[in-house]
Structure 1
Amino acid sequence: MLASGTSGIVLAFESFVVLHILAGSLGLVSFWIPVVSRKGSLLHRQWGRVFTWAMLVTGTAAIGISITTLIDPINTHPHLDDAEWIRGIFGWMMLGLAVLTLNLAWYGRCCLVNKSDHRLNLEWRNLSLQGLLLIASIICAGYSLRIGEPIMLGMPAIGIATVASNLAFMLKREPASIDWLKEHIKALVGAGISVYTAFFAFGAVRTIPTLALHPGLWSIPLVVGLALIIYHRLQVERQAKAAVPSPSAR
C-alpha cells in the first residue's frame, strides 16, 4: 500500500515536471516577442497572450511539483539525500516562486484587461493571489532560517515587495492614465524573470549541482529583467510626456 502511494506521488511529480518543462519552454521563447515587438501591435498582443497563459500553466505545474516534493522529498529527488534541504529548496521555495509567477502573470493580465475600469482589479482572484503570495513568502522565510539556507530569503523579499507594490496600485483611488501600463510591464517582465530564474537555478541542479544555488546564477535573470522594466517604464513616461501639448501649442 505504501509502495503504491509512493509510486503515485512520483508519477504525479513526473507528470507535473513534463508539463512544467513544456509550458516553461514556451514561456522562455514567447517572452521575448512582446518585449521586442511594437507595443500594441497584433504581434505583441498575440504573443503576450501566449506568454501569459504559458506562465499560468507553468506556475500551476510548479505548485504540483512543490507539493509532491513536500509529501515525498526523497523519492521525487533520488539524486539528492537531504530531505530537509529538498523540502526547503524544491518544496517551499519552489512553491513561493510558483505562486509569484501566477501572481505576476494574472496581475499583469488584469492591469491590461481592466485598464478602462481600475476598480475591477480588486476581483477575488487578483486579491487572493496577493494573500497567497504573502503567506508563501512568510513560510519560505521561516524555513530558510530553519535549515540555514540564506539564498531562500531572496524569494520572500521579492514576494513581499511584489504584494506591497501590487496592492498599492490596486487600492489607488485615481491612478494616472499610464499607471496601468507601467504595472503591466512590471508584472509580465517580472513573470519572465521568474521563469528564467527557475530555468537557470533549478535546471542547474541536475546538470551542475554545485552552481545551482550560486548567487551569480540567480542574479542574471534579475539584472536583465530589472533593466527591461526600467527601460520600458521610462519609455512609457517619455511617450506620455511627448503626447501632452506644450503651453505654447494650446
Structure 2
Amino acid sequence: MLIHELAFYVHITAGCAGLILFWVPMLSRKGSPQHKQIGRWFARIMYTVAASGLIMASLDLAWPLVMHPASTTLTDAQAQIRIAEVRYTAGFLWSLSILVLVTTRHGWLTILQREDRAPLRRPLHVALCSLLMAAGLLMLYLGLRGYDLLLLAFGALEVWVAGGCLHYAFKATLQHPREWWTEHLGALTASGIAAYTAFFVFGGARLLQAWIPDSFAGLSILLWVGPGLVGGIAIGRMTAHYRRRFAQPSQNQTA
C-alpha cells in the first residue's frame, strides 16, 4: 500500500537523522544558540518519526496481511500466526511512537512555557499522556501473559513516563529551582531512548547480526532494553546535577 510504503521511508529517513541529531543538543552547552537550534530540529524530526510510526503501525494492526502479504498461499493456521506476528510488532511500534510523541511534546512545552504549566493541563496533552499510560499498561499485561521481557520493560517505562508527565503537570507547586529545565531535559532524553530502541528492535539488530552472527544470539534483548537502562541512568544523573547547580544562585544558571 502506497501510504504504508511512504510512511516507512519517511520513518526510516527521519529516524536516522534523529539518531544523529540527538547527540548535538545533548553534548552542546545547554542554552547555547547551537543547543536551541539543533534542539528545534530534533523535535521536528521526532514528531515526524512519531507520526509516520503511528501511520504504519495503525495500518499493520488493521490490515496485517494486506500490509505484509505472504509470498506463498497460507493455511488458516499459518495466516493466524502471521497476523499475530505482524500485530505484535505493530503494537510495539505503536506504543513507541506514542512515547516519542508525548516525550517530545512534553519536553518542548516545558521549555517554552517554563513555570507556566497551564498548557500541560490542556485536554490534548492530558489525553496524549493518558494514551501513553494506557499503552504502557497494555504492554505490561501482554508481557505478563506471554512472559515477554521486552514488553514488560517498555510497558513499565511508558507507565513511568506518562505518570511523571501527569504528576509534573498537576502537582500543586514546583519543588526545585528551575524544575522546568530538568523536566525538559528528561523528556527529550526519553524521546531519544525511544528512537534508539526502535532502531535496535526494528533495524539495527539485523545489521549487527550480520556483523557478529556467532555471538549475537544472546545479545538481542540487551540491545533492546539497553537504551532504556542507559537513558534512565543518564536522566537521573542530569536531573541531580542541574538540581544541585540551580540550588546555588551564585553559579551560572544557563549552563
Structure 1 letter corresponding to 2:189: V
Matched, 1:92 2:83: no
Q: Aligned-residue CA RMSD in angstroms? A: 2.5
1:116/1:151 CA distance change after superposition, 3 Å? closer
Structure 1 letter corresponding to 2:41: V
Take 1:112 and 1:182, find their aligned partners in 2: how far apart are those partners? 9
Query: 5+ residue gaps in structure 1?
Result: 1-9, 246-250
Q: Conserved in 2, the CA contact under 8 Å of 1:140 and 1:152? A: yes
Partner of residue 203, structure 1: 203
Matched, 1:214 2:220: yes
CA drift of 1:66 comes to 0.6
Take 2:70 and 2:205, find their aligned partners in 1: how far apart are those partners? 10
Structure 1 letter corresponding to 2:229: V
| Match among 47, 51, 73 for residue 42 of structure 2 | 51
1:119/1:14 CA distance change after superposition, 3 Å? same
Matches within 5 A, 1:60-71: 60-71=51-62
1:212/1:136 CA distance change after superposition, 3 Å? farther
Structure 2 letter corresponding to 1:17: F
1:146/1:231 CA distance change after superposition, 3 Å? closer
Give the number of aligned pairs.
235
CA drift of 1:46 comes to 0.5
Structure holding more helix per residue? 1
Matches within 5 A, 1:15-30: 15-30=6-21
Q: Conserved in 2, the CA contact under 8 Å of 1:105 and 1:187? A: yes
Query: 5+ residue gaps in structure 2?
Result: 72-80, 211-215
CA drift of 1:122 comes to 1.1
Partner of residue 185, structure 1: 185
Structure 2 letter corresponding to 1:95: W
Q: Which secondary structure does the structure 2 equivalent of 1:192 belong to?
A: helix
75-84 or 15-24, which deviates more: 75-84
CA drift of 1:65 comes to 1.2
Q: Conserved in 1, the CA contact under 8 Å of 2:150 and 2:224? A: no
Partner of residue 161, structure 2: 162
Partner of residue 248, structure 2: 242
Q: What TM-score do the two structures reach when normalised by structure 2?
A: 0.82
CA drift of 1:54 comes to 0.8
Between the aligned residues of both structures, percent identity stands at 28
